[in-house]
Amino acid sequence: MKTMKLEIVTPGGLIYEGDVKMVTLPGKEGEFGVLPGHASLVSLLDTGIITVETAEGKEIMIAINHGYVKVDENKVSCIVDGAVLITDEEGTLSQKMEEAKELLRKAQTSDVAIAAAVGKVESIKKKSY
């Protein structure tokens, strides 16, 4: 299966970089998915969860507060104000989830977007136990 490059960057540095099969993004107008070969676009990102399917088939989730994304046929670049990689390493999931929930709660966006994103974080917790 084809892959594309994904990079997620905050003012503090690179959060994620790698080859992915698919990425789902929390756009200002609603959640949308990007596959390799997607048409070029630039979009605002809202508070929420970026879901990534890696080239190896692993699912990674990153909580963000807001930013923007630039999509090209072979690359997705996300520039966000704040981000927490939730499914990073085993043993730190609980701490990462708390950091993600705190980031989402501090976001200055609609209560609905925050509640939906926190709900996704909570569902990760349920899956992991």
Model confidence pLDDT, tens digit, residues 19-46: 999 999 999 899 999 999 999 999 999 9
| pLDDT at 129 (0 to 100) | 42
State the average pLDDT for the chain. 83
Percentage of residues of the chain with pLDDT beyond 70: 71
What's 4-128's CATH class? Answer: mainly beta
pTM of the predicted structure, to 2 decimals? 0.76
Q: What confidence tens digit (pLDDT) does each residue in 45-72 have?
A: 998 899 999 999 998 999 898 899 999 9
The half-sphere exposure of 65 on its side-chain side, counting CA atoms within 13 A, is: 16
| pLDDT at 72 (0 to 100) | 94
Domain ranges of the chain: 4-128
